[in-house]
């Protein structure tokens, strides 16, 4: 009887010892992990599932398995709790065909009719600053009279991801009379230029390795000239790539502001004034026409006089012949 009780007590002691050992080990690992990552460590919530699992365990193996399962659940709970509170709902899928996103250089041309061109220019500058862009060109032609149309043109550079938003905001400044958007895909050009740049840099590295080897002065000078040529090509190609990347990152917006055409309709005494102006203009034109005709006559008078004398002598000669004819017959 005592032997059976001793065995049961020994088995129970082993089970409790195993559970405590596993619990202490997990708590020690949690303390060390939190010491590295930062954050408070609470002993009671971590050991509570282990102690609850140990109360109803009939043997040490079951106690160990239950403790491991609870520890895994605790780790999963900690990972969920440590996840960032706001994760993006939209995860972009990789493009089909293994090709990256298109590299587009976009340019927009917009014509807007506004009541006050000067104010529109000021508002457009403020909008460009708010959209993190820059004004790269401005041409303002002030009219000489209030009746003339006031026209101004601006060239803007805005980030590509704010391109559509900028067009919408600028269109609200007045009445959009014309709008066009052009896009140039330079994806293939960028890929080709980057591949050539990598090849040139590998060539430069190989040349530098050859230059480090022993050789005569002529060989060293020849390699130095070739390295200089390769470096010049690298710098030119690198500048070309950076220029295309900048044009892709920043889109261009050309916007033209113009004031509406002022059409005035005369009424009352103004109609008579307009009629008098038309009459005086017509009389002036008629007088100018008469003077011009007189000048033409004066200019061609010598030729007309010579022609008249020729005709007069011809007529007189004909009459003389006609008169002499009948006399000779009698």
| Residue-wise DSSP of 61-98 | HHHHHHHHHHHHHHHHHHHHHHS-S---S--PPPPGGG
Q: What angle do CA 301, 307, 309 make, to 5 degrees?
A: 105
How many residues in total does the chain contain? Answer: 330
CA proximity to 258, closest of 142, 94, 85, 156: 142
The crossing angle, in degrees rounded to 10, of helices 117-130 and 163-171 is 160
Rounded CA-CA distance 40/38 in Å is 7
Domain assignments of the chain as residue spans, ordered by start: 2-82, 103-185, 188-246
Q: What angle do CA 308, 310, 315 make, to 5 degrees?
A: 95
CA proximity to 126, closest of 164, 156, 160: 156
Is the pTM higher than 0.75? Answer: no
Report in angstroms the alpha-carbon separations of 148 from 118, 262, 278, 281. Answer: 15, 8, 22, 23
What does the pLDDT read at residue 122? 94
Rounded CA-CA distance 25/46 in Å is 11
User: Strand, coil or helix: what is 266?
Assistant: coil
User: Strand, coil or helix: what is 140?
Assistant: strand
Rounded CA-CA distance 121/140 in Å is 9
CATH code of the region 103-185:
3.30.70.260
What does the pLDDT read at residue 57? 40
Strands 250-258 and 104-113, how do they pair? parallel
What does the pLDDT read at residue 265? 63
- Digit-by-digit pLDDT tens for the chain (330 residues) are 556 666 666 667 767 777 676 776 776 666 555 444 444 444 444 444 444 444 444 444 444 444 445 544 544 444 434 444 333 333 333 443 444 577 899 999 999 999 999 999 999 999 999 999 999 999 998 887 777 889 999 999 999 999 999 999 999 999 999 999 999 999 999 999 999 999 999 988 888 887 777 567 777 788 888 888 889 999 999 999 999 999 999 999 999 999 887 666 656 666 777 777 888 888 888 889 888 888 888 888 888 888 888 888 888 888 787 776 655 555
Rounded CA-CA distance 112/120 in Å is 9
What does the pLDDT read at residue 55? 43
Q: Which two tokens stand for residue 232?
A: 């010049």
Rounded CA-CA distance 153/256 in Å is 4
Tell me which DSSP letter residue 160 carries: G
Rounded CA-CA distance 263/106 in Å is 38
What does the pLDDT read at residue 2? 56
Q: Which two tokens stand for residue 196?
A: 């050539």
């Amino acid at each position: 009887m005592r032997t059976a009780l001793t065995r049961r007590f020994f088995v129970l002691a082993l089970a409790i010892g195993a559970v405590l050992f596993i619990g202490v080990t997990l708590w020690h690992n949690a303390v060390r992990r939190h010491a590295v990552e930062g954050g408070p460590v609470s002993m009671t919530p971590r050991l509570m599932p282990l102690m609850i699992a140990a109360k109803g365990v009939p043997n040490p193996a079951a106690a160990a398995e239950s403790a491991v399962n609870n520890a895994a659940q605790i780790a999963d709970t900690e990972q969920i709790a440590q996840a960032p509170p706001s994760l993006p709902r939209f995860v972009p899928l990789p493009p089909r065909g293994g090709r990256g996103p298109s590299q587009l250089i976009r340019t927009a041309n917009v014509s807007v009719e506004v009541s006050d061109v000067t104010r529109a220019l000021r508002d457009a500058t403020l909008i460009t600053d708010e959209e993190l862009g820059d004004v790269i060109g401005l041409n303002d032609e002030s009219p000489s009279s209030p009746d003339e149309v006031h026209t101004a043109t601006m060239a803007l550079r805005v980030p590509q991801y704010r391109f559509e938003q900028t067009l919408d905001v600028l269109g609200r400044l007045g009445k959009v009379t014309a709008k066009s958007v052009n896009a140039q895909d330079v994806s293939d050009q960028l890929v080709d230029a980057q591949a050539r740049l990598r090849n040139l840099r590998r060539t430069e590295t190989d040349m530098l390795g050859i230059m480090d080897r022993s050789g005569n002065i002529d060989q060293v000078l020849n390699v130095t000239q070739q390295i200089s040529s390769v470096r010049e090509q690298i710098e030119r190609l690198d500048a070309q790539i950076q220029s295309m990347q900048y044009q892709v990152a920043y889109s261009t917006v050309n916007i033209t502001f113009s004031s509406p055409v002022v059409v005035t309709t005369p009424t009352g005494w103004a109609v008579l004034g307009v009629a008098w102006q038309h009459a005086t203009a017509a009389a002036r034109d008629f007088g100018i026409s008469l003077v011009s005709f007189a000048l033409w006559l004066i200019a061609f008078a010598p030729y007309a006089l010579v022609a008249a004398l020729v005709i007069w002598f011809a007529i007189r000669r004909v009459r003389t012949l006609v008169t002499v004819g009948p006399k000779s017959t009698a």
